[in-house]
Structure 1
Amino acid sequence: MWSRAMKTEGIEGTERFQSPGKGRGLKATKHFKVGDLVFACPAYAYVLTVNERGGHCECCFTRSAEGLSKCGKCKQAYYCNVECQRGDWPMHKLECSAMCAYGENWCPSETVRLVARIIPKQKCQTERTPSERVLTLRELEAHLDKLDNEKNEMNDTDIAALHHFYSRHLDFPDNAALTELFAQVNCNGFTIEDEELSHLGSAVFPDVALMNHSCSPNVIVTYKGTVAEVRAVQDISPEEEIFNSYIDLLYPTEDRIERLKDSYFFTCDCKECTSKSKDKAKMEIRQKLSTPPEQEEIKQMVMYARNVIEEFRRAKHYKNILHCELLEICEISLEKMGSIFAETNVYMLHMMYQAMGVCLYMQDWDGAMKYGEKIIQPYSVHYPPYSLNVASIYLKLGRLYLGLEKRTQGVKALKKALAIMDVAHGKDHPYIAEIKKEMEEQK
C-alpha cells in the first residue's frame, strides 16, 4: 500500500530524488520562473507563541484588529470565531485545563508544546497527511548519533518538561521514541514569522523539510497563516535541485558553515561557500585608519563580535533586564567594533539591527530610523535578491517614516518592500493588501 501511495502521491512539478552527496532532496520536473509558487504545505502540527496570544488566532494565525474571542475556560487562547475555536480544540485541550491548574507556573517551551501536539496526531494518523506528500514525519532526520552532551541534556530537559506539564493528557511513547521525536523537531522545525520577521510560532512541515540547503537558494519559504508557501526566487529548470536556505545568510562563510554544522550536521559546499565571493564585502575594514589592523587584531575583533552577539541573545531572555541596558550593550559593542570594522561590516550590522529592535520596543522612533537607514543599503548588498530580511527593513522604515509624517520617504520604502514581497509572498498575500492599504491612506 505504501509503495503505491508513494507513486501516486507527490507535488506537481517536483520529484523526490537522491541528491548526489546530500541524501534525499527535491528536484524540479518543470520550469519555474521567479515568483512562481512551487508548492504549498499545510503544517503537520503548529503552535502559536505565547507572546502573540490575543493578537493572533490560535487556530489560523490571523492577525485581528477587530478583537478575538477568548477561550471561556483558560481565558488565554483567542480565536476568530466558533469555527476556529472548534477546529483548534483537539490541540488546545492538551493545554487548556493544565494552564488553569498551573496558573503562572505553566511554562513549557515552544518545542515541548509542539511535540505535545505531534504525539496524539501520530498515534491516530494511519494515512499520509496533506503535509506529507513527498516525506513523512517519521522519515525526518534525527541525527541522534551526532548529538553532543549539551544537546542530549536539552533533549532530556524537554522530555522531563513534557511529562511534567502534560502527564494527565498524553499517552507517552517510550523515552527512546521521545528522544528521537525531539531531535527530529529540533532539526526540522520551522519558525513561522510575519512580514516584519516577528516570531509567531513553531511548526513542522515535512514536505518543506525535504529540500536541501544552499547559501544561494533558488526558493524562499513564506507563510500564509499556518500554511508554508515555497516560491522560486531564481529561474529553476527541469531536473534542477530545489534549494532552500536553513539559516540567516548575512554572515561570512566561516560563520555559516559553523552554524550549519552545529544545527544541521553537514558541511555546506554550495557555490557561495566555495567561492566566498561576498566575504570581503561582509568583513569590510574601516577605511582611513592611520595604521591598517593586523590579521590577529581582526581575528580578535571577530571573536569579540561573536561573543557579544551571543551575550546579547542571552540577555534578551533575562526577565529583569531593562531595554535601556540592552541598548547599552549594542552601543558599547558598536563603538568597540567600529574601531576596526566599517559600518557595512556584518557584525556591525547585526548589532545595529538589534539596536533598531530595542528602539522600536522603547518607541524611540528617531533612534530606530537612524539605525534602519544605516542598515538598509549594506543589507541589499549582502543578502541575495528577494530577501525577506531586506523587505522587513524597508517595511519597518516605511512605517516609521509614515508615523513621523515623512510621507514621500515612507511610500518609497514601502514600494521597495512590496517589490520583494510580490515575489516572496505572492501578489495575493494578505500582508501585501495590508501594506497597499497603508499606502492608500497616505493619499
Structure 2
Amino acid sequence: MATEEKEEKIEIVEVFTTKNRGRGVRVTSDVKAGTLLLTEKPYEFVLQNIERGYYCDQCLTKRDEILHKCSACKFAYYCNKDCQRAAWTSHKLECEGITRVSPNIPSDHIRLMARLSRKRKQQAPALNGSSTFPTHIDQLQSVPTDLRGDTQLEFSSWLYTLRRFMGDGEASNMQPAEVLEMFGRMRCNTCDISDGELHSMGIGLYLKFSMFNHSCDYNCIAIHTGTTVNVRTTRDIPANKECFLSYVDVLKPTATRNNILRNVFQFSCKCPTCRDANRDNLRHSVRCGNPECQEAVLVNPDGTVKKCSLCNFEGFPASFPDQLKTVEQQCMAKLSAAEEITNFGNWKKVLELSEQCLALQKGMLHPYHHLVVETLHFAMDSCIHLEKWEQALEYGRRSIAHLEFHCPGNNATAAIQLMRVGKLQQYLKMIVEAMKNLQKAEKILLITHGADHPQYIQLKEMITACALERRQTPRLESIEEAEPHQETEHKEETSKPAPEQKREKQKTEPVAETTEDKTKPATKDEKSKPVTEQPKVEGGKPGTSEEKSNSSAEPKQKESGSVRKKDLKKAAPPKEETKETETEQKDKSAASVSTTSSDETN
C-alpha cells in the first residue's frame, strides 16, 4: 500500500529540464495549497551525533523511555529489537568502524559518506534519462569542488578520517577522485531531517526529493515524519509551473542567504523575495529617533540613516552609524556563542546572553530587525527550559508579530511559534488568548503538515482541551473578556496574571492531599538538576507526562530531571491564619485580657 501511494503522488509531478537551473520538478495539473506532492524514504541517513540517546538511530523517533544501546560499539541507540534488526544492514560495518576509531567520534558527514559509498557499490545504477526521477546516487548532480589552499588541506584531512573509519579493506579501493565526486554529490543533495516542530535531528539524502530546485519565494515545503519526507504545496500552483523549496532560512537577510547558497550550492537566488529591497532593508531597520514615533527607519548601505517616512525625523547623531555597527557585531557574536552553548544544555548562560543582546538592541534596533527576531527565539527557548513560563510567554508574544511580518502566508515556522505561545497561554490559564493562537496555527499546519501528521494531531487535541476548559470555567472567560465599564474590583482581578489568580484561589480554598514535597521550596541542588522530562516544546501544558511523547523543536535539550510547578509551592493554606483563629477563641474565653494584650497576641 505504501508503494502504491508513493507512485500515485509522483504522478502529480514530473521532472523536466529548466532553462538555467538544470533539472527541476513541476506539477502536471492545477493543485491547491496543502496538496501532498511527494512521499519518500531516504536513500541513506544518519542521526546527528548531538542528538544521540534522545532519538532512535533507526526510526528517528524521540523517546522518553530509556533507549537500548548497541552492545558492541556503545554508540547507537534503538527503541527496541525490531529497530535494531532493521538497522543492522547499515550499522554492521559502521559498528566496526566506530569501535576502530574509539574514543574518537566520526562526524555526521563522515558517517553518512561511508554509508553512501557502501550502498553505491551494492546497487547497480539504473539507466534512465533526465526526464525521470533518479533511482541511484550516480544520477544526481555533483557540485565541483575547487581543491586549492585551505580547501585541499581540509579535503586531505577529511579523506584520511574517512579511510580510517572505513578500514583498510574498504578504503584500499577508494580513489581520491571517486571520493571527491561523491563528496560533491553529498554536499549539494543532502538535507536536514527535522521533527514536526522543525528541530533538526538528522541528515539524509533523498533521490527524488533532490530534484526540487530552490527559491526563497518557495511554493512548497518539506516536512518529515520520522525519516520519511513529505513535500506539500504552501499555495495554489497552476499546471506546468515549477515547484520550489527553500534551502535556507528565509528569516535571514538576503546577503546572508545568498552567501550560504554560493558556498554550498554554487549559485545565487534571484527570486522576487531576494529582489524585494524594501522588505530586506526592514531586516536591518532601526527605531525612529523621535520617542513618540514607532516607525522603522531604513539604513543606507554606507551605514547612514534615512529620514523617517512617518514623522520626517532625521536628527540621528553623526556617531550613530558606528554605534549601530558595534551593536550589530556584539549581538552577532553573542548569538553565535548562544547557539554553540545550546548544544551543551547550559540554558542559564543562553538566557544571559540573550538578555544582554536585548539590552543592547533596546532603543536602537527596530523589532523588524533580523537580530531582534533571532534573539527572542533564544530567549524564549532558554526560559522554557528554565521553567520561566511567564517570561517565555512574553518573549514568544513579541516574536509572533515579527514572524508574521517576515513570513506571510502558510509559513510553518510562524505556525510552530503560534503553537508554542498558545501552549504557554493554556498552561497559564489564558484560555481565550490560547485559543486564538492555536486556531491560527491550526489553519497553517493543516496546509504545511497535513491532517495525519502527529504535530497537527497534537495541536487539534490542544484546541479541544482548550475548548473544554473554556466551557468549564465561564467565570475565567468573563474576567478575561471584561469590558472597561465593569466594576473596579473586576479590573483589578483581570490585571493579575493567571498563575496569580490561581494562587489567590488556593489561599482561600483547602487543597486536598497537599504533600510536603509540593510545599517546600526546591533546594539549590534540586534547582540545578537537568530537565529532560519537561517537553522542549510548544503546545499544551509544559512539563506534563501526557506530552512526553510529543517532543518539541526547541534547541537541543541536554538536561534531565523532574518538573516542579511553581504554582504548587504555595498550595498549603497559610499557617498564620490558623494561629490567629486559635488566639481569637482564647480571647473569647478570657474576659480579663485587655484589648492591647489581645492585639499583641494576634
Q: What TM-score do you get using the length of structure 2 for normalisation?
A: 0.65
CA contact (8 A) 2:195 2:225 kept: no
- The alpha-carbon deviation at position 114 of structure 1 amounts to 1.1
User: Amino acid of the residue matched to residue 18 of structure 2?
Assistant: S
Matched residue of 2:232: which SS? strand
Larger RCO of the pair (alpha carbons < 8 Å, separation 6+): 1
- The alpha-carbon deviation at position 44 of structure 1 amounts to 0.7
Counterpart-to-counterpart distance in 2, 1:101 and 1:289: 65
CA deviation vs aligned residue, 1:342-376 (integer Å, no higher than 9, x gap): 12222211122122223333333333222111111
- The alpha-carbon deviation at position 167 of structure 1 amounts to 2.0
Identify if the C-alpha distance between structure 1 residues 320 and 282 changes in structure 2 by more than 3 Å, giving closer, same or farther: closer
CA contact (8 A) 1:11 1:134 kept: no
CA contact (8 A) 1:155 1:182 kept: no
- The alpha-carbon deviation at position 192 of structure 1 amounts to 0.9
Map residues 327-338 of structure 1 onto 2, 5 A cutoff. Answer: 327-338=351-362
Alignment equivalent of 1:118, drawn from 116, 119, 140? 116
- The alpha-carbon deviation at position 73 of structure 1 amounts to 3.3
CA contact (8 A) 2:253 2:280 kept: yes
The match for 2:256 is: 255
- The alpha-carbon deviation at position 388 of structure 1 amounts to 1.9
Identify if the C-alpha distance between structure 1 residues 306 and 387 changes in structure 2 by more than 3 Å, giving closer, same or farther: farther
The match for 1:5 is: none
CA deviation vs aligned residue, 1:403-432 (integer Å, no higher than 9, x gap): 444444334333322221111111111222
CA deviation vs aligned residue, 1:15-40 (integer Å, no higher than 9, x gap): 22221222221222222210001111
CA deviation vs aligned residue, 1:301-334 (integer Å, no higher than 9, x gap): 3685367436633554368895433333333333
Matched residue of 1:54: which SS? coil
Counterpart-to-counterpart distance in 1, 2:392 and 2:224: 26
Counterpart-to-counterpart distance in 2, 1:360 and 1:324: 11
CA contact (8 A) 1:192 1:223 kept: yes
Identity %, equivalent residues: 28
The 10-residue stretch of structure 1 (149-158 or 43-52) with the greater mean CA deviation from structure 2: 149-158
Counterpart-to-counterpart distance in 2, 1:237 and 1:179: 40
Larger Rg: 2
Number of equivalenced pairs: 433
Counterpart-to-counterpart distance in 2, 1:310 and 1:29: 47
Identify if the C-alpha distance between structure 1 residues 226 and 128 changes in structure 2 by more than 3 Å, giving closer, same or farther: farther
User: Amino acid of the residue matched to residue 201 of structure 1?
Assistant: G
User: Amino acid of the residue matched to residue 369 of structure 2?
Assistant: N
CA deviation vs aligned residue, 1:260-315 (integer Å, no higher than 9, x gap): 22222112111222233522443332134479797425665368536743663355
Identify if the C-alpha distance between structure 1 residues 427 and 25 changes in structure 2 by more than 3 Å, giving closer, same or farther: same
* Pairwise CA RMSD: 3.2
The 10-residue stretch of structure 1 (12-21 or 116-125) with the greater mean CA deviation from structure 2: 12-21
The match for 1:156 is: 156
Map residues 38-437 of structure 1 onto 2, 5 A cutoff. Answer: 38-65=37-64, 67-100=66-99, 105-128=103-126, 134-135=133-134, 136-145=136-145, 149-167=149-167, 170-171=170-171, 173-289=174-290, 295=300, 296-297=303-304, 301=324, 305=328, 308-309=331-332, 312-313=335-336, 316-317=339-340, 322-437=346-461
Identify if the C-alpha distance between structure 1 residues 420 and 67 changes in structure 2 by more than 3 Å, giving closer, same or farther: farther
CA contact (8 A) 1:196 1:396 kept: no
User: Amino acid of the residue matched to residue 391 of structure 2?
Assistant: G
The match for 2:16 is: 17
Counterpart-to-counterpart distance in 2, 1:307 and 1:340: 13
CA contact (8 A) 1:338 1:348 kept: no
Counterpart-to-counterpart distance in 2, 1:287 and 1:431: 40
User: Amino acid of the residue matched to residue 45 of structure 2?
Assistant: Y
The 10-residue stretch of structure 1 (284-293 or 200-209) with the greater mean CA deviation from structure 2: 284-293
CA contact (8 A) 2:338 2:349 kept: no
Q: What TM-score do you get using the length of structure 1 for normalisation?
A: 0.86
Counterpart-to-counterpart distance in 2, 1:321 and 1:173: 39
The 10-residue stretch of structure 1 (13-22 or 221-230) with the greater mean CA deviation from structure 2: 13-22
Counterpart-to-counterpart distance in 2, 1:174 and 1:202: 25
User: Amino acid of the residue matched to residue 365 of structure 1?
Assistant: W
Counterpart-to-counterpart distance in 2, 1:32 and 1:119: 38
Counterpart-to-counterpart distance in 2, 1:192 and 1:256: 20
User: Amino acid of the residue matched to residue 184 of structure 1?
Assistant: R
Identify if the C-alpha distance between structure 1 residues 253 and 60 changes in structure 2 by more than 3 Å, giving closer, same or farther: same
CA contact (8 A) 2:46 2:108 kept: yes
Counterpart-to-counterpart distance in 1, 2:355 and 2:420: 21
Counterpart-to-counterpart distance in 2, 1:283 and 1:320: 31
CA contact (8 A) 2:218 2:244 kept: yes
Matched residue of 2:450: which SS? coil
Matched residue of 2:111: which SS? helix
Identify if the C-alpha distance between structure 1 residues 255 and 72 changes in structure 2 by more than 3 Å, giving closer, same or farther: closer
Matched residue of 1:325: which SS? helix
Counterpart-to-counterpart distance in 2, 1:23 and 1:96: 38
The 10-residue stretch of structure 1 (236-245 or 158-167) with the greater mean CA deviation from structure 2: 158-167
CA contact (8 A) 1:196 1:395 kept: no
